[in-house]
Structure 1
Amino acid sequence: MVHSCKEIVVLNEGADLDALSAALAVQKLYPGSCLLTPRYLSKRAGEVFRDYRHLFHTTDELPERFVLILTDTRYFPESIPKETVEKVIVYDHHPTGDVENYEGKVDRVGAATTLVVEDLMERGVELTPEEATVIALGIYEDTGNFTYEGTTERDLKAASWLLYKGADLKIIRRYMLESFTKEQIDIVRRILSSIEKIYLDGREIAIATAVLEKYEPDINALLYEVKDLKEADAFFVIIEAEGKTYVFGRSQTEDIDAGNILSYFSGGGHPEAGATKLENVSASRIKNMLVNYLKGIKSQKLRVGDIMSSPPFLLSDHLSVKDALLELSERGFANAPVIDRDGNLIGIISKKSLLKLSRLYPEEPIEEFVNKDFTTLSPDSPVWEAEEVLTKFGQKLIPVVEEGVVVGVVTRLDILHRMKEDLGEVKALHKRVKIPGNIESISKEVGEIAQGLGYKAYIVGGVVRDILLGKEVWDLDFVVEGDAIELAERLASRYKVKTHPFPEFGTAHLKVGTLKLEFATARRETYSRPGAYPKVERASLKEDLVRRDFTINAMAISVNPESFGTLIDYFGGVRDLKDKIIRVLHPVSFIEDPVRILRALRFAGRLGFKCSKSTERLLKQAVNLGLLEEAPTGRIMNEIRLALREDRILEILSLYRKFKVLEHIIKGFNWTQNLEDKLVSLKKVTDWHSLEFPSERIDYGWVFLMVILSTIKPDVSMKFLQDVSAPSWVRESMESLYTTLNIIKGNLQKAERNSEIYKLLKGVHLSLLLILMSCREVQDKVKLFLERLRFVKVPPEAVREMKERGLEGRELGEEIEKLKERLMDEEKSFIMERP
């Protein structure tokens, strides 16, 4: 219902019951006021608003000028234009906020509703029992039924007055004692299993974390009743879901100010309770920073100003393209902010753009060519805001601006180094696992040799994943905290086998029996640009695992004698394996190395997993930013080759289609439903062929690729096959696919005799036969050829008779073929038998 109002009550998005109840009380204080219809409320507040909406005067539109009323907050709503507000009235029990000039009340009580009720009592405002009930709900919720430490006698007096006015305790109890779903209880179980306790100055603080696919906004109500949290002096719960991280805390002692602590993380509240919501920052990082903060080790790199490069290198807009390129090249910079003569930031220019422009406009000023579509941050912006800009919008450099002046810049490498520092304090999950018998003995030997050298060694990566999945393992990857090549050479000498060292990468390969072993020195990697080959330095196991792609590939198993078989999992890989999730380790993972886009889809297709929502979002952003085009062709093609070897190639190709990756890799390619249908039909054919003729198996992935490439121009497809190092039979068959396959197909449709089918298909490569068989029009004829006609043989006695007649060489061969064709046609043909 729309009313013409001069006072408008506006609730925060996701407002709770205290805010809603206070809004109704405010409307009794200001009878002409309206509540701006809330778009989103907490679950409990939403239910109350749905049931009692008739008590509220609401509006869907804002007048040109009005008085703004805020309840349970003192932060100015982002959605409200400030110039339309004449004054602000606030009723809030939180000590922080950005509204400085206001009327109303801000005071420390258990519920904001209490402050409004006190004014109702003072003015003698009458309430109906229904109104009193809804207003009382806010006080009951925010004081935890008068059990939370922030509860005051004023809250009890306000509730007493509302009960005097007819508030119905039965209705209040119904809303307060809400039931919980099986899913919510399961979430609580997962959160409880993560609880860790720290002790500071005799105070117990509990911290729990969880990574969920979907956030349950009302889960905290159930958590408040959990004994391990309830009995702690303070507790904090950190939940990561759908690309956001939610943190809320409760304090039950005057020594710990929950609201002040969470204000450090861009949140707020009051001493008894606080909350914050962050984007693009993991729960594990926030937990680490929170623990450090509580211990007095405040992070020195939480704000953009802590990680930016300052003073920044700036280019003047009047510089010529040629001179600007020279300036960037001499300093080794890929991008730089551009300022005008007054020092105002006007845009960003890249070395890549200048290289192109230098051929056409070398003397033109760069002001004509700067990129003006960019985001800036202030030194006080949280680091994760920079992460979001670099991942979501694809900027490669962020100017940091303070009072209109560029004071620094932030790049992707700055962000990556910062995240690795945060992860450095993450604790790993440790548990014993059974190492398969075929690799147990050699794993123990590696551990013993490492110990003798003073090193530590671990099985790492996909091998660990496969061990946990119960798969056979024949390729072993070891990471060594020490010299991996030296360890590999010691092992090789025991078995008298050769070592293949690669000193520039600190790696070595060798083969022992049927096992392939690779040793790598624990290392950190940095990338000069997306997809580039990395620069390598020695590091710890932890840092080595941080650089990996997905949580399920970032686990290790110790082979050191004192901890043999201990699984080390810093990032929740075990959990994601159980939940069948592909999850990147950090937000810039795909930007750091776009080839991971294809790897994510290959693993998802191979294992039947799905990408987490945040990973899927980051993957889409990276594809849309065109990062696949920036990656080295060789690495992209290598990943394509690996995908083509997978048994579940069709599932991988379906994911390629979903995320539109081939469109960025193959020039002129577009998915169509017709192509999808062809690939599905081809999969049925290759499955049949692999079962019927296992000795003839070929790499079917190449056949799928041939069908995909058949939709684009021949010169482009042949170039692609060359780039991907396709086998010669693939390139030759591809040429035939373009030139003769349709002719063969047309003639095959007309063929009536078995001998005609045989003559058309003999000598055709198996890959083309499989593609033909996937065409419904000729499927039965190709199947007849593959199953029977190609195996028809001339009886030995007939061959002897020909030889006795003096036939030999080519003449003999031709006679044998003629007889073979007559024998095929003497039987009732398969075609003739069809109804």
Structure 2
Amino acid sequence: MKLIVGHRNPDFDCFASCVAAQKLYPDHVVLMSGAPQQNLSQFLGIYEEKYNYITESDLTDENVESLIVVDTASSDRLGQKVQKIVEKAARIVIYDHHPEIKEQTIRGEKQIENIGATVTLLVEEIMKRNIEIDSIDATLFAIAIYEDTGSLLYTSTTLRDLEAVKFLLQKGANLAEVAEYIRYDLSFEQKQLLEQLLSNVETHQIDGLTVHVASAETEKFIGGLGVVVSKLWSLENVETLVCIVRTGKKSHVIMRTSSNEVDLGGVANELGGGGHRKAASFTVNESDISSIKKIVLETLKRYVNRGVLAKDIMSSPVRVVYSDMTIGEVNKIMERTGHNGLPVIEWNRLVGIVTKKAVDKAMNHGMQNHPVKAIMSSKLIVVDTNTPLSRVRQIMVENDIGRIPVLENGILVGIITRTDVMRSSFADAVKKAPRKAVFEEDQQQFVNVRDLLISRLPKKVSDLLRLLGRFGDELNLPVYIVGGFVRDLLMGNPNLDLDVVVERDGLSFAEHAAKRLEATLVKHEKFLTASLFLKDGTRIDVATARTEYYEAPTELPQVEVSTIKKDLYRRDFTINAMAIKLNQKDFGLLLDFFGAKKDLENKVVRCLHTLSFVEDPTRILRAVRFETRFSFRIEERTSQLMLEAVRQGYLEKVSGQRLRQEFEKILEEPKWLAALKRLSDFEVIKRMFPGVFYTVTMEQKLRSLADFLPWAEEFFGNVQRFYAVMFVFLEYHGDTAIEEIKARYGLSSKFVDELKLLKKMIVPLSKVISNKLNFSDIYKMTKGISPEGFCYIAAYLDPESQEYLKQFLTKLRETKLRYVDGRIIVQKFALKPSRLIGELLEEVYCAKLDGSIDDDQEMQFVEKKLKDLVSSKAPAQ
């Protein structure tokens, strides 16, 4: 194996250097460690199929013949698996531009020079060897140089960097694309202005073009307005942006667009300014922002020209598969044609998209004979034939999808792939790209919720989160709060379960935080997790960002170190797959890759991918738990996947212990009765407990049980709801069936014995209580019954009879023998210890229970009983 690698979490210079190195070493494979920087990730959202690379999780062999390392000479900056490869590689060549860094710990042949960007070194070599590159390659390399040299303004920039840029421009580098992906750092005043602009963004429609208008006011002029606007444009991720900034009596208008259908230069020229089609500006002696806004929007109408449309670039006719085809058949089609995804048709109607990733996973799980509709994604993102190209590109990036069906009058007429989009911009560069799986239905959003952290949390908790972010900065580790905490924060529900995820090394972070907080640390190194216990009782669970893969359905997952995005993707539902960054610079930044915030707003429970319930069927129970807890609804496709997984027998493959744990969590919910009804809708009850059928009669018993349960829990202090429900579930089961369920779910022998007893007497006992017979009669029938057993009895009673049962239990607890016991009776009446003594005490207790005697009459009662006993045994006269 021959590899090209860069540092973890690559930026443009790192990745571009890998690509350039592959031009020089074409028999080497590019390996990417960690998650790419955000702007590189956005670039790959469009162009990733052009560039073939693998990740550390794809490595199966550490024996490497040749290793090319770019943009670093320090092994500490490499991925964990790559560090091991460095130790064994036969040959290593290093390209870097950081000669001042002393920690050059990687051995090998070094080409390290003091220039602005590493990729410049490799571009020079490409020029010397006269190696051909296309315009996308040139654009990628140019972005890397511009980013690492601050658009050629940093003092580290050299003439060699400029020569490299000149060469790349000659090769077709697209400066508009370069500008789109370059980052800028802002001054304090510029950041203040940016925040004001962010708070004042409006949306307008002009002939189908969406225009975002932002405004701000300041009494003094702030330099670099173009930089601020570019940053805002990047943050808002919008197509066309107009910013109006009033400074004193003047107002400055700066405009940016990624659309080919609008000419901003024409707008600016008409209004006294200048620029080109995609970036322009002008200044006016006017302080009324609303007037300026009106003028700009009116002028824009004359410079909107709908350009390339979806119908102009789509591929047609469309290769499709049918919903009743098997996964194996679809896999053969994909392998033969090289398609990464195919539309799914049912009755001439588009019903879904199936990706190669989903097919590969299903094949690994032995599902080749299942219909493809079982794994297709039915959440369709489509466009019509007149959708502008710029909007198509935006949809692809926002949703991280590689193909978009095109409809005309509701009929599938074409499909647009990344290749089609690339062809529209770089006709010379489109080649067949190797397949690379992507996340399905990925809807990336970044929103700052810092104010919610401050307003909705106790101060000590928000301060603690800031501290954790600071600890992450000290170790240069990204830190996030995740899961239910984030969900409930957005919903306004109290939840102080602190689950923290750290990219790269959660254990080191936990050790550092424990020292700084003087907390007790418990590590679980096998699972890359740890727990911190603070002196005030607060618990913080820390995990390394990880991904999971399932070697077989229903088995527990294998774990690998990964990124926050993949860590969230392994979770159960979108609403639980959000994170908030805690590092100081980005404190409060909400990461919502999968549309969770929208699902929260729409009150929807949605799984993250089509094999979710195959990989972990316990998620079926969790879906119902969240639905009933929050009064949400399970999304239609998720419901279908749940029911299919149940009917295909995946619940039966899960251990009884795991199922019982999830079932008990449902029973602890306030709306547990409604949750059981929903489980029955999904056929879960009869699958988990064979022979149990959720009938109207059973539902009535459970309703009566639910009515009695709150009182019982307060009265007894501890009632195991699981056993209380099991009494109702298993009351008609035979001994063999009970023993099977006992073995599967770990039921106690005591429970089974009590169930068998109560099954025989539940009907007559319920009649004794309903007829309000003496407490002593109930007492004699219920001696030794557990709190859960009494709850089962209550399931047979109407509200009035339940009240009588409560009176009995209260009287039972209050009734004590105060002046007699076995010892006193033996001594006072000169009796020998015998069963008679116990029978006497029982009769005294029953008399008190029924209210026939009080405390002072206990001894008299005994004396009378003994006299009656003696007289009954005396001979007749």
TM-score by length of structure 1 reads 0.51
Equivalent residue number for residue 509 of structure 2: 487
Q: Which of these residues, 667, 684, 703, is aligned with residue 690 of structure 2?
A: 667
Equivalent residue number for residue 428 of structure 1: 446
State the Cα deviation string for residues 457-479 of structure 1 (Å, max 9, x = none).
11101122223333333432111
Task: Kindly state the Cα deviation for residue 231 of structure 1 after the two structures are TM-superposed.
Answer: 9.9
Cα separation, partners in 2 of 1:748 and 1:483, compared to 1, 3 Å: same
One-letter code aligned to 2:514:
A
Distance 2:545 2:239 in 1: 32
**2:658 match: secondary structure:** helix
Equivalent residue number for residue 261 of structure 2: 203
One-letter code aligned to 1:716:
A
Equivalent residue number for residue 679 of structure 1: 702
- Bigger shift: 810-819 or 787-796? 810-819
Instruction: Say whether the 8 Å CA contact 2:766–2:797 is kept in structure 1.
Output: no
Distance 1:374 1:657 in 2: 25
Cα separation, partners in 2 of 1:760 and 1:720, compared to 1, 3 Å: same
Instruction: Say whether the 8 Å CA contact 1:663–1:669 is kept in structure 2.
Output: yes
Equivalent residue number for residue 340 of structure 2: 301
State the Cα deviation string for residues 427-482 of structure 1 (Å, max 9, x = none).
43443222522533332332222221110111101122223333333432111112
Q: Which of these residues, 236, 250, 257, is aligned with residue 309 of structure 2?
A: 257
Distance 2:316 2:853 in 1: 86
What pairs with 1:598-617 in structure 2 (closer than 5 Å)? Answer: 598-617=621-640
**2:501 match: secondary structure:** strand
Cα separation, partners in 2 of 1:730 and 1:203, compared to 1, 3 Å: farther
State the Cα deviation string for residues 750-773 of structure 1 (Å, max 9, x = none).
884332222222321111112112
Task: Kindly state the Cα deviation for residue 514 of structure 1 after the two structures are TM-superposed.
Answer: 2.4
Cα separation, partners in 2 of 1:622 and 1:760, compared to 1, 3 Å: same
**1:501 match: secondary structure:** strand
Equivalent residue number for residue 418 of structure 1: 437
Pairing 1:594–2:617 present: yes
One-letter code aligned to 1:453:
L
State the Cα deviation string for residues 779-798 of structure 1 (Å, max 9, x = none).
45533311324422345489
**1:499 match: secondary structure:** strand
One-letter code aligned to 1:678:
K
Q: Which of these residues, 712, 715, 737, is aligned with residue 736 of structure 2?
A: 715
Distance 1:752 1:572 in 2: 61
**2:580 match: secondary structure:** strand
One-letter code aligned to 1:821:
C
Pairing 1:734–2:725 present: no
Equivalent residue number for residue 842 of structure 2: 817
One-letter code aligned to 2:307:
D
Instruction: Say whether the 8 Å CA contact 1:552–1:576 is kept in structure 2.
Output: yes
Task: Kindly state the Cα deviation for residue 503 of structure 1 after the two structures are TM-superposed.
Answer: 2.2
One-letter code aligned to 2:724:
V
Distance 1:766 1:547 in 2: 40
Task: Kindly state the Cα deviation for residue 677 of structure 1 after the two structures are TM-superposed.
Answer: 1.1
Matched residues, number: 489
Task: Kindly state the Cα deviation for residue 262 of structure 1 after the two structures are TM-superposed.
Answer: 5.4
Pairing 1:576–2:599 present: yes
One-letter code aligned to 1:613:
E
Pairing 1:766–2:818 present: no
Equivalent residue number for residue 584 of structure 2: 561
Instruction: Say whether the 8 Å CA contact 1:475–1:517 is kept in structure 2.
Output: yes
Q: Which of these residues, 760, 776, 779, is aligned with residue 755 of structure 1?
A: 776
What pairs with 1:681-700 in structure 2 (closer than 5 Å)? Answer: 681-690=704-713, 693=715, 696-700=717-721
TM-score by length of structure 2 reads 0.48
Distance 2:487 2:773 in 1: 54
One-letter code aligned to 1:823:
K
Instruction: Say whether the 8 Å CA contact 2:822–2:841 is kept in structure 1.
Output: yes
Distance 2:650 2:818 in 1: 63
Cα separation, partners in 2 of 1:776 and 1:430, compared to 1, 3 Å: same
One-letter code aligned to 2:665:
L
State the Cα deviation string for residues 364-413 of structure 1 (Å, max 9, x = none).
xxxxxxx6x86699xxxx9869999xxxxxxxxxxxxxxxxxxxxxxxxx
What pairs with 1:186-197 in structure 2 (closer than 5 Å)? Answer: 196-197=238-239
Cα separation, partners in 2 of 1:636 and 1:820, compared to 1, 3 Å: closer
Pairing 1:624–2:663 present: no
**2:493 match: secondary structure:** coil
Equivalent residue number for residue 458 of structure 1: 480
Distance 1:798 1:665 in 2: 50
What pairs with 1:100-249 in structure 2 (closer than 5 Å)? Answer: 196-197=238-239, 199-200=257-258, 202-204=260-262
**1:459 match: secondary structure:** strand
Distance 2:469 2:296 in 1: 40
Cα separation, partners in 2 of 1:618 and 1:487, compared to 1, 3 Å: same
Cα separation, partners in 2 of 1:262 and 1:753, compared to 1, 3 Å: same
State the Cα deviation string for residues 120-155 of structure 1 (Å, max 9, x = none).
xxxxxxxxxxxxxxxxxxxxxxxxxxx999xxxxxx
Instruction: Say whether the 8 Å CA contact 1:303–1:383 is kept in structure 2.
Output: no
Cα separation, partners in 2 of 1:791 and 1:528, compared to 1, 3 Å: same
Equivalent residue number for residue 134 of structure 1: none
One-letter code aligned to 2:717:
E
Compute the RMSD of aligned alpha carbons.
4.8
Cα separation, partners in 2 of 1:229 and 1:655, compared to 1, 3 Å: farther
Instruction: Say whether the 8 Å CA contact 1:448–1:561 is kept in structure 2.
Output: yes
Task: Kindly state the Cα deviation for residue 498 of structure 1 after the two structures are TM-superposed.
Answer: 4.0
Equivalent residue number for residue 20 of structure 2: none
Distance 2:365 2:610 in 1: 21
Cα separation, partners in 2 of 1:745 and 1:333, compared to 1, 3 Å: same
Task: Kindly state the Cα deviation for residue 549 of structure 1 after the two structures are TM-superposed.
Answer: 1.4
Structure 1: which 5+ runs fail to align?
Answer: 1-146, 150-193, 207-226, 235-250, 268-275, 281-298, 313-331, 337-347, 349-370, 389-415, 830-835
Cα separation, partners in 2 of 1:265 and 1:667, compared to 1, 3 Å: farther
Cα separation, partners in 2 of 1:776 and 1:302, compared to 1, 3 Å: closer
Instruction: Say whether the 8 Å CA contact 2:705–2:795 is kept in structure 1.
Output: yes
**2:439 match: secondary structure:** helix
Instruction: Say whether the 8 Å CA contact 2:379–2:441 is kept in structure 1.
Output: no
One-letter code aligned to 1:709:
L
**1:567 match: secondary structure:** strand
What's the % identity of the aligned pairs? Answer: 27
Instruction: Say whether the 8 Å CA contact 2:260–2:307 is kept in structure 1.
Output: no
One-letter code aligned to 1:523:
R
Cα separation, partners in 2 of 1:582 and 1:497, compared to 1, 3 Å: same
Cα separation, partners in 2 of 1:793 and 1:634, compared to 1, 3 Å: closer
Instruction: Say whether the 8 Å CA contact 2:376–2:610 is kept in structure 1.
Output: no
- Bigger shift: 675-684 or 617-626? 617-626
Instruction: Say whether the 8 Å CA contact 2:485–2:499 is kept in structure 1.
Output: yes
**1:203 match: secondary structure:** coil
Equivalent residue number for residue 726 of structure 2: 705
Distance 2:803 2:647 in 1: 43
Task: Kindly state the Cα deviation for residue 813 of structure 1 after the two structures are TM-superposed.
Answer: 6.0
**2:554 match: secondary structure:** coil
Instruction: Say whether the 8 Å CA contact 2:468–2:513 is kept in structure 1.
Output: yes
**1:587 match: secondary structure:** coil
Distance 1:254 1:596 in 2: 46
Distance 2:373 2:804 in 1: 66
Equivalent residue number for residue 67 of structure 1: none
Cα separation, partners in 2 of 1:746 and 1:447, compared to 1, 3 Å: same
Distance 1:230 1:705 in 2: 71
Task: Kindly state the Cα deviation for residue 306 of structure 1 after the two structures are TM-superposed.
Answer: 12
Cα separation, partners in 2 of 1:575 and 1:480, compared to 1, 3 Å: same
Instruction: Say whether the 8 Å CA contact 2:686–2:693 is kept in structure 1.
Output: yes
Equivalent residue number for residue 522 of structure 1: 545
Task: Kindly state the Cα deviation for residue 815 of structure 1 after the two structures are TM-superposed.
Answer: 4.0
**1:428 match: secondary structure:** strand
Instruction: Say whether the 8 Å CA contact 1:772–1:779 is kept in structure 2.
Output: no
One-letter code aligned to 1:487:
F
Q: Which of these residues, 560, 563, 574, is aligned with residue 537 of structure 1?
A: 560
- Bigger shift: 639-648 or 744-753? 744-753
What pairs with 1:782-793 in structure 2 (closer than 5 Å)? Answer: 782-793=805-816
Q: Which of these residues, 615, 636, 654, is aligned with residue 677 of structure 2?
A: 654
Distance 2:729 2:617 in 1: 22
**1:418 match: secondary structure:** coil
Task: Kindly state the Cα deviation for residue 821 of structure 1 after the two structures are TM-superposed.
Answer: 1.7
